[in-house]
Amino acid sequence: MRQGISNAEACRKLNINRRTGMRWRHGRTVTDAHGRATTYAPISLKAPPEISPRYLSESERIRIADAIQAGQSLRQIATALGRSPSTISREVIRNRSPRLKRYAPRAAQVLADAARKRPRLGKIAGNPELRDAIVKHLLQQWSPRQISHQLSVDFPGRPEMQVVHESIYQALYAPKATGLSREMTSHLRTGRRGRLTHRHSTKRRSRFSGPLLSERPAEVETRLVPGHWEGDLICGTFNRSAIATLVERTSGMLLLVHLNGKRDAPTVRERVGQAMAALPPHLRKSLTWDQGSEMSEYLQFKKDTTIPVYFCDPHSPWQRGSNENTNGLVRQYFPKGTNLNQHSRERLAEVAAKINGRPRESRNWEPAQAHFDRLEKQPQI
């Protein structure tokens, strides 16, 4: 009929009754003498889903019914099918047709399919203690990966209290029967309520360039030598407010710089210079910045602080990967589209302390603050 043939013509070609063709296409409902209705679904061209071989198939159920009718024992049937006798016994007892009062293979298959689809509570939904532990860390703006690691630390030897980070993401993005509410996604770094498809970012026009990464010392790439920083601005509504972020590449230490409601080059040079001048000499060796005009006075910055500035290639934010990732963490506290001028220096210091106190997987789950403190106390040769 999809080829344009009528129902009557299609049935004639297949040598079947026209009513049979109608039933195959639309299904039918049959009512017996007791008023009980049985519905037969229309025939579908879609293949049934494959199930694991460890489950009995419909063909095996037909063989079981034939063997029972032939008078074979359950052990004989199990041997012939290569199954355990207990498997055959459970099959015959559980999936016996309640209407026919005997084992019927088609009815048994329908009962088995329905039982296999029964809803089950997820691990998080079925364990209130686990759910409360996850919620506790989510309220602290921890990432699911950090929470997963911390659960293994807090509950050693208790597998029921440990989940991988993907299970937490699924419980947040698809909260049905998982125990977590979708509102908890507001505590994630991105604040998204669902996954996003990968897409190309919009390219920006390069506004400024200075010494590029090719001129930067090779020791910076290894992250073994401390004192090399990455910097950028996060901006507020209509780019009228901003906060400077500085991240040390070895430890991941974050500094948030208050710009007093401005984001021009002289202000950025002065405030960032003051923040870095307070560091020990061995922890302020270089600064890598984005292609932004706010650092156009980099020569004066180097003269004031003796810290050289290097710039990423155009449209290459991954060259400041530590800073880009940390900016995402900072956005949990200062979302896009808000006025950043309303936050005081004390508030910035509080947020930086929270982020620096989180365990970091990239540094063997050591908080950035602890790593930085150890680097600060190391003797210099």
**Res. 202: pLDDT tops 70:** no
Helix (H, G, I), strand (E, B) or coil at 288: strand
In this model, does residue 155 exceed pLDDT 80?
yes
pLDDT of residue 293: 86
- Model confidence over 45-75: pLDDT tens digits? 666 667 788 889 989 999 999 999 999 999 9
Q: Specify the length of the chain in residues.
A: 381
pLDDT for the residue 2: 81
> Residue range 272-286: average pLDDT?
93
Question: Position of tokens 């780019």?
Answer: 239
Q: Find all residues with CB under 8 Å of 144, minimum gap 6, and list them.
A: 165, 166, 168, 169, 172, 188
Long-range residue pairs from 82-90, CB within 8 A, at least 24 positions apart, any chain = 83/56, 87/56, 88/64
Backbone angles phi, psi at 41, to 5 degrees: -70, 155
Residue from 177, 115, 187 nearest 144 by CA = 187
pTM for this predicted structure: 0.52
The answer to whether residue 81 scores a pLDDT higher than 90 is: yes
Let me know if domain 213-377 sits in CATH 1.10.510.10: no
Average pLDDT, the chain: 87
Share of the chain above pLDDT 70, in %: 91
Q: From 286, 257, 280, select the one nearest 373 (Cα to Cα).
A: 280
Q: Residue 103 corresponds to which tokens in the numbers above?
A: 């084992």
Mean pLDDT is lowest, of 92-101, 113-122, 195-204, 235-244, for 195-204
Q: Is the pLDDT of residue 164 over 60?
A: yes
Looking at residue 201, its pLDDT comes to 45
Give the pLDDT of residue 115: 81
Dihedral sign of CA atoms 10, 16, 17, 23 in order? negative
Q: Among the listed ranges 164-168, 174-178, 222-226, which one has the minimum average pLDDT value? A: 174-178
Q: How confident is the model at residue 93 (pLDDT cuts 50, 70, 90)?
A: very high
Q: SS in 3 state form for 5-51?
A: CCHHHHHHHHCCCHHHHHHHHHCEEEECCCCCEEEECCCCCCCCCCC
pLDDT higher than threshold 50 for residue 250? yes
Beta bridge partners of 369: none
Residue 377 has pLDDT above 50, yes or no: yes
pLDDT, residue 98, reads 83
Amino acid at 366: E
- The token duo for 144 is 């699911």
Beta-strand (E) ranges in the chain? 28-31, 37-40, 228-235, 242-248, 254-258, 286-289, 309-311
C-alpha 12: how far from its chain's center? 55
Q: What is the pLDDT of residue 191?
A: 75
Burial (CB count <10 Å: 0-12, 13-18, 19+), residue 210: middle
Structure tokens at 135: 């919620």
Task: Find the range with the poorest average confidence among 212-226, 227-241, 243-257, 274-288.
Answer: 212-226
Residue 217 — very low, low, confident or very high, per pLDDT cuts 50/70/90?
Answer: confident
Coil, helix or strand at residue 352: helix
Structure confidence by residue, pLDDT tens digits, 323-359: 999 999 999 999 988 899 999 999 999 999 999 999 9
**Does residue 179 sit in helix, strand or coil?**
coil
